[in-house]
Amino acid sequence: MSVPSTCSSILVICLGMWLFFPPDVNGTTVKEQKNPAVADTTTSDKNNPNSIPYASSRTFGEHLLALPSYLLHWTTRPIGYGVKFLEREFPELFELKVPNSGIAPYFETGSKNAKIAYGIIAYHKNFLSPGNELRFHGLFGSESYNSFELDYAISTFLAGELEIDASYANNPEQSLYGGNNSTLEEKQLFSAEELEGSLAYKQQVSPILGLRLNSSFKKLTIGQGDVDDSPGGPIADRMLGTTSLVTIGGSASYDFTKGKPRTYLGPRIAAGLDWSQSINSTDFRFLTYTIEWDHFLPVFFLPKTRRLAFKSRLQKVEPLKNSGVPFFEYPTLGSNQDLRGFTGNRFRDDGSLLLTLEYRYPIWDFADLVLFVDEGQVFDSYSDIHISDFHTDYGFGFHIISGGGFSFRTEFAFSNETSRFILSVTPNI
Amino acid sequence: MHHTNKLLQTIGIGAVVLLLLGCAGSRPYTLGPVKTFDPDTSAIPEPDEKEQYQYWDRIDNTTFHQLEKPLDLNRTFRFAGRMLGVAGDRQADNVNHLDQVPESSWYSYRHYHNPMTPKELARGPNTVQPDTAREWTIFRGKLEGANSGFFIEDANGNRFLIKFDGYKYPELTTAAEVISTKIFYGAGYYVPESTITYFDPENVRIGEGVKVSVDGETRPMTRQDYLDIIKKRPRNKDGKIRALASKFVDGRPVGPWGFEGTRNDDPNDRVLHEHRRELRGMRVISSWLNDTDRRDANTMSVYTSESYIKHLVQDFGNTLGANGTSIHTPIYGQAYLIDPRYMALSAVALGGYVRPWEQVEPEVRYPAVGYFKAEPFQPGHWVPVHPLPAFENMTLRDAFWGAKIVMSFSNEDIRAMVETGQISNPEAEEYLVQTLIDRRDKIGRYWFRRINPVAKFHARIDNQKLVLQFDDLGVTGNVFSSSSSHYRYNVLHADKVLQKGERVNDSAIEIPLQMGPEKNRKAPLVVQIQITTHRPGSDIIAKETRVFVALEDEGPRIVGVEREE
């Protein structure tokens, strides 16, 4: 039976029921009860209308016509029981307030490395001292696919904040592509086991100037990935092995932007420089510098909440004399933060340049829609940068603007190679 | 194509059926007494307390209830019928033949029906004040930052909830709560007693075993907790602290009542709440006060000593310019907290659509008044923060009912009720009075253009004439001028037109009885007078109000009123 035929049959049945069990179209459907359920207490006069209570009623036909709404109503009640339970037991969840401490489960699906990986986030916002936050993040998919991270932030250290992080991650399948002109067929797979510890000191010198000093130790072991799944074949032997890197560096950021929580005007500039040195048998010594410039502009004929965000980022590694740079430290493009329409780490070379233009506009007090275009390329040297070498993606997204508690971002990005759905729910814990 | 024709044919048949059904109707008047009381106060077994789930209520009303509406084919067909002009709105279920709401456990005839003096309106529901001359004893505490408060028992044994203003807006919340309580009381609703009080902070002690909850942990309340609560609160020149004292209601609270459905354990609760006129029409009264947080959680059912459930409206801290301990912003009253209508429009327009409240500067002239304005107020588009089924069902007749209650408050009445808020700045108080007056008049102008605002009918025999006297609420409310208003009427008896197209310039219609029905009949004769109001120079469409007058031995009596929508 075709859909129109089914629809018209349903309509005929419904109208028939209306005819057979007619509701009072213009008037009310009140029936004055001849025998009130409870004895009247206000008057003894049986004929007085004040002794006959009003009551709402529906005919059988009206109930039948309302059946679809009843079905939806009763199928959604279990959701109500769940929400009521949460409201009763965890009222703070509804106030979008994150408690001072807690443990939250999470899981990850869709990875090639494990069908499903389970994890927890545990945190305490006042660990050892008020304002000092301890956070643990663990994900376990299998013996060869897992990651663990422990962070501790001391909110008052000298005139700033001190962050101490330690992490371990094991991933048997990471992708390696080539430079700017590489194709998907060049993909190679490698495994990585990483142990890292870092220390960072942050200080807000003035409302517009922030400084950061950082140091880290990283031990990374690269192994061969699944060659059968590597169209580009196995990675070169010289890339295999263990590297221990020490990095120290610093960065400064100038923030002249206006608008909170929606930034609508002004520039934000950040520049950072890191020096890295291998401390095992490998000979790696290099500098990494990063310059970022973001600029926000309101659309002049509309309220300030409709704004353009222009973002640019230049990143480059420079080997120091007679030494090299490990491939995993090369700048890359292709993540949910830069070239969003390409697969992860799609392009990798000595340098990367990213340009992004976003038009952000509110659809509600706490929600924005975003239309964006990303342009990016990686390069060996600055002379290799050409307009025609930019890779382009575009997309749209939905962002929830949250003053605290959590942030939510979902985006759809498209390129000539693939598309990507980005969903990011980050509790600010 | 065949199916399309069949579908159109079906819809056509349906429309005819609807038309026929629409023509059928019961007698629009009564020959018996007019119902003035709905007996829902019979003794019932004591019910359990109903739990309050304020977030689920919001989620349900905002999402699932909205999805259910089109799936209720009664509603959908009625909507289609209305579009075709062959069906009317679903009217309220508890309306008598005079288009009025009878009294009940929900509603009482007050200012509109039996005009109260400004003094009576100012007194409102209050019977006692907290005794501030003697010591208060705290028997429960609530530590929630600016919203902290406590419950006290005074030396007379009366119990009150004590609430305070926010730190940034002294007098704002307490004044709003008291003023709106008085207005709702005058409108006919049951409300708790509330008053502004100034108490000596040294005259308060913490009772035995009082506990407070802090970050989920319960512990005994300390003197320091009390001092933290009263710290930074506004004081008068004598050092006494200003607070709102809300008296505990008589009877046992048994949870909130809802704006939809009925209460299963209350046999008296027979009318679906979404079809109660006093709840549908409340939308107009709430719009006047910008009562944005009106929802299930801000209501209260009380099991009375007479063993029935009485229905109270409470929590007026989000009315006028107040939004709890903070202030309203321009969006309040103009859109729901999550409003798919505006969200969809904004998304499709790519930011080009500027929503009405984005064009209004959130100016706060007086902290004690907060953000409360008349200019951006649109009576027909006002909504609370979350959808309420009863408000959504409001018809033009319900709105008229609400509007005539709002318009019944004179400038002096409003001033008297505002004064009970004890706003110390006279300019701020006057601004609030004037804003309420302006918003009231906007309500009158808006709703009285859409329905014929003639009401308060009286019939008498005078010099062998039947005289029908009425009030044009648009004129008595000073929103339309009497000199530019006139009325046309037809007189009918048993479908026979006795007079047609007659015109009067004032609100009294005289019908010579010799033109009327014969005398000495068994059943009283009923004449129908169809009145339309005309205001030349305005774009008001004249709509008809039909008044049915029974000529009885004791004299003429109004036995029916019908209003065209």
What are the sequence ranges of the domains in chain A? 3-89, 158-427
| Nearest to B28, CA basis, from B76, B85, B91, B74 | B91
Q: Which of B3, B91, B271 sits opposite A2 (nearest CB)?
A: B3
The nearest CA of chain B is from the CA of A304 a distance in Å of 10
Q: Within 13 Å, how many C-alpha atoms sit on residue A107's CB side?
A: 9
Contact between B34 and A49 using a beta-carbon 8 Å cutoff: yes
> What letter does residue A235 receive in the DSSP assignment?
P
CATH code matching the domain that covers A158-427, chosen among 2.60.40.10, 1.10.540.10, 1.10.1060.10, 2.40.160.50: 2.40.160.50
From A60's Cα to the closest Cα of chain B, the distance in A is 12
Smallest CA–CA distance, residue A67 to chain B, in Å, is: 7
Residues of chain B with pLDDT under 50: 1, 11-12, 15-24, 515-517
Contacts of B51 in chain A (CB under 8 A): 84, 88
Instruction: Check CB contact under 8 Å for A15 and B21.
Output: no
Question: To the nearest whole angstrom, how far is the Cα of B487 from the nearest Cα of chain A?
Answer: 26
Buried b (16+ CB within 10 A) or exposed e, A92-105: eeeeeebeeeeeee
By the CB < 8 Å criterion, does B71 face chain A?
Answer: yes
Bridge partners for B331 per DSSP = none
pTM summary value: 0.83
Question: Are the CB atoms for A150 and A126 separated by under 8 Å?
Answer: no
Q: Which residues of B touch A367 (CB under 8 A)?
A: 343
Counting one residue from chain A and one from chain B, the pairs whose CB atoms sit within 8 A come to 196
| Residues constituting chain B | 565
Residue in A with minimal Cα distance to B347:
A363
A253-312 residues touching B, CB cutoff 8 A: 299, 302-303, 305-306
Which pLDDT belongs to residue B368?
A: 96
In angstroms, what separates the C-alpha of A100 from chain B's closest C-alpha?
Answer: 9
Q: Does B278 touch chain A if contact means CB atoms closer than 8 Å?
A: no
pLDDT at A34: 35
Strand order, beta sheet including B525-534: B496-504, B486-493, B525-534, B544-552, B555-563
Of B277, B246, B187, B352, give the one whose Cα is nearest residue B563. B277
**What is the chain A residue with the closest CA to B73?**
A65
- Chain B segment 409-448 residues within 8 A of A by beta carbon are none
Q: Which residues contact A10 (CB under 8 A, 6 or more apart)?
A: none
User: Backbone phi, then psi, for B186, in 5-degree steps?
Assistant: -60, -30
Chain B positions in Cβ-Cβ contact with residue A11 (cut-off 8 Å) = 7, 10-11, 14
Q: Give 10-residue mean pLDDT values along chain A (429 residues).
A: 50 51 37 32 53 90 94 95 90 72 78 76 89 91 87 90 95 90 93 96 95 96 89 90 95 93 93 95 90 95 93 96 91 91 93 97 93 97 95 95 72 93 68
What is the distance between the alpha carbons of residues A304 and A361, in angstroms, rounded to a whole number?
9
- Over residues B547-558, the pLDDT tens digits come to 999 998 888 999
Rounded (10°) CA dihedral A372, A375, A378, A383: -150
CA distances from A362 to A116, A275, A409 (A): 36, 42, 14
- For chain B, the first-to-last Cα distance in angstroms comes to 38
**Chain B residues with CB-CB distance to A33 below 8 A:** 270
A contacts of B34 (beta carbons < 8 Å): 49
The per-residue pLDDT for range B314-360, each reduced to its tens digit, is: 999 999 999 999 999 999 999 999 999 999 999 999 999 999 888 88
Sorted by sequence, the CB contacts under 8 Å of residue A224 that are 6+ apart come out as A190, A191, A234, A235, A240
Residue A261, phi then psi, degrees to nearest 5: -85, -5
Interface check A11 vs B, CB under 8 A: yes
Q: Which of B55, B86, B343 is closest, CB to CB, to A94?
A: B55
Interface test with A, best of B26, B44, B74 (most A CBs within 10 A): B74
Q: Alpha helix (H) ranges present in B209-281?
A: 223-230, 277-280
Closest alpha carbon to B65 in B391, B398, B348: B391
Confirm or reject contact between B47 and chain A (CB < 8 A): no
Non-local CB neighbours of B515 within 8 Å, separated by 6+ positions:
B491, B498, B499
Contacts made by residues A201-205, CB under 8 angstroms, sequence distance 24+: A201/A157, A201/A158, A201/A160, A201/A161, A201/A162, A201/A163, A202/A160, A202/A161, A202/A162, A202/A163, A203/A158, A203/A159, A203/A160, A203/A161, A204/A160
Task: Please give the mean pLDDT across all residues of chain B.
Answer: 91
For residue A261, whether the previous peptide bond is cis, meaning omega lies within 30 degrees of 0, is yes
**Whole-number Å distance between alpha carbons of A57 and A60:** 10
- Residue window 358-387, chain A: list those with CB within 8 Å of chain B: 359, 361-365, 367, 369, 371
For chain B, list the domains and their CATH numbers.
35-451 (no CATH), 454-563 (2.60.40.10)
Q: Which of residues 27-46 of A touch B (CB under 8 A)?
A: 27-30, 33, 36-42
Cα torsion at B300, A80, B74, B100 (round to 10°)? 0
- The DSSP call for residue A349 is S
List the one residue out of B519, B529, B513 whose CA is nearest residue B561: B529
Question: Rounded to an integer, what is the distance from CA A384 to the centroid of its chain?
Answer: 33
Cβ distance A18 to B14 less than 8 Å, yes or no, reads yes
Q: Is B62 on the interface with A (CB under 8 A)?
A: no
Q: Tokens in use for B148?
A: 């902290």
**Could you say which residues from 197 to 236 on chain B have a Cβ atom under 8 Å away from some Cβ of chain A?**
215-216
A42 with B37: Cβ contact below 8 A: yes
Angle, nearest 10°, between helix axes B282-289 and B172-187? 150
Residue B2 corresponds to which tokens in the numbers above? 């065949």
CB A425 within 8 A of CB A118: no
Beta-carbon separation of B93 and A15 below 8 A: no
Shortest CA distance from A64: residue in chain B? B73
The whole-angstrom separation of Cα A332 and Cα A350 is 9
- Angle among Cα A70, A72, A76 to the nearest 5 degrees reads 115
Q: Which of B263, B247, B232, B217 is nearest to B44 (CA)?
A: B263
CB B233, CB B243: distance < 8 Å: yes
Pick the closest to residue B490 from B542, B545, B412 (CA basis): B545
CA distance B538 to A68: 45
Cβ–Cβ under 8 Å, residues A11 and B7? yes
Closest-CA residue of B relative to A305 is: B351
What H or E segment, with its residue span, contains residue A84?
Answer: helix A67-89
A229 CB neighbour count, 10 Å cutoff: 12
| pLDDT (0 to 100) of residue B502 | 87
DSSP state of B64: I
Task: Determine the residue among B6, B38, B58, B73 to mutate to test chain A binding: the one whose Cβ has the most chain A Cβ atoms within 10 Å.
Answer: B73
Nearest CA in chain A to B21: A25
Tell me how far CA of residue A281 lies from CA of A138, A223, A243, A277, in angstroms. 31, 17, 8, 11
* β-strands B204-206, B136-142 pairing: parallel
Interchain pair A52, B39: CB under 8 A:
yes
Say whether A56 and B88 touch across the interface (CB within 8 A): no
| Sequence-ordered alpha helix ranges (H) in A288-426 | none
Task: Write the CB contacts of A251 (distance below 8 Å, at least 6 apart in sequence).
Answer: A211, A212, A214, A270, A271, A272, A273, A290
